[in-house]
Amino acid sequence: MTQSFPQTAPGLFSTAEAAAVPPPIAAAPFWTAQATPKASASGWLLDPDASTTLAGALPRVGAGLGLSALYGVALGTRAGGSSVFEHALGVPAAVLFVMLFGLPALYIVLAFLKTPLGVGDALSATTRATVTTGIVLAGLAPAVALYVVTSDATIAAGVSAALGLALAGFLGLRQLIGTMSRQLKGTDTATFGLATIVSYGFALFAAVLGARVWMLTLPLLGGGL
C-alpha cells in the first residue's frame, strides 16, 4: 500500500522567499548624484572657531592683508611703476596699524570692565574683521582699477579710492563689533552697555587712525612712502 503525503501548492515557498528578499536598490544616475559640499574660501577665512588660536589666526590675517593689497595694486595702476608697490603696501598698512596699535588697547579696556572675553575671542574677532576688510577691498579692486585708469581728473580718482577704503573699513569694523557683541551675550546689562560704548569709541578711533595712515602712505590720496 503506497502512502501518500499532502502536496504543497506549487510555487508556495518560492513566492514567500521572493517576498522576503528586498528588491535591489537602483543606483541614482550620475547626472543626479549630488557632490559632497565643500567649504568656500570665504567660509574658511571667516570660520570663528578656527581662528581662536595663533596658529589658526595668523594665516587668515595674512590672507586678509594680502587681499587688501590687491586694492592697492588697483590704485597704483593709474600711475604705474613704483606707484603700484607703494599702494600695495599702503592699503594693508592701515589695517595692520589698527590691528597692532588699536585692538590691544581695546581688549585691555574690556578686561578692566571684567568682560568674559579671552585671548581666543580677541583673536577670532580681530581675524574676522581683517578678513572682511580684505574681501571687500579685493572685490572692489577690479572696478576701482578701471575707474582710476580711465578717469581724467586725479581728484575723482582719489575720491573713488577713498570711498572704497571707507566702505571696507566700515564693514570690517562692523564685523568686529558684531563678533564681540555675540561673544558678550550672557553678561549683565551694565557690562554689556559699557562694552558696547567702548567698542563704538574704538571704531571711531580706528577710522581716524586708518584714514590718517592711508593719507600718509597712498600717493593717490596725496601721500607717499
Report pLDDT for 17: 52
Measured distance CA(206)–CA(100) in Å, rounded: 11
**Could you tell me which of 93, 75, 98 has the C-alpha nearest to residue 222?**
75
pLDDT at 33: 40
Report yes or no on 37 lying in a domain. Answer: no
Domain that holds residue 123: 51-221
pLDDT for position 42: 60
* 55 occurs within a structural domain: yes
In a domain, 101, yes or no: yes
Total domains, the chain = 1
Give the cell for residue 82. 613704483
pLDDT of residue 146: 93
- Whether 2 is covered by a domain: the verdict is no
Q: What DSSP assignment string belongs to 156-190?
A: HHHHHHHHHHHHHHHHHHHHHHHHHHHHTTTS-HH
Q: What single DSSP character describes residue 152? A: S
| Longest distance between any two alpha carbons in the chain, whole Å | 123
* Residue labelled with grid coordinates 517576498: 19
CA-based nearest residue to 184, from 118, 105, 104: 118
- Note whether residue 167 is domain-resident: yes
What is the predicted pLDDT for the residue at 57? Answer: 82
Question: Model confidence over 160-182: pLDDT tens digits?
Answer: 999 999 999 999 999 988 888 88
Instruction: Please report whether residue 198 resides in a domain.
Output: yes
Tell me which residues of the chain have a pLDDT lower than 50.
Answer: 12-13, 16, 28, 30-38
Residue at 24 is within a domain? no
Read off the C-alpha cell for 208.
Answer: 581716524
Are the CB atoms for 68 and 191 separated by under 8 Å? no
Residue 210 lies in a domain: yes
Q: What is the pLDDT of residue 119?
A: 78
What's the confidence (pLDDT) of residue 103? 84
pLDDT of residue 34: 44
Q: DSSP assignment, residue 38? A: -
Q: In terms of DSSP H, where are the helices of 12-81?
A: 12-20, 41-45, 54-76
Identify which of 44, 68, 224 has the alpha carbon closest to the alpha carbon of residue 137: 68
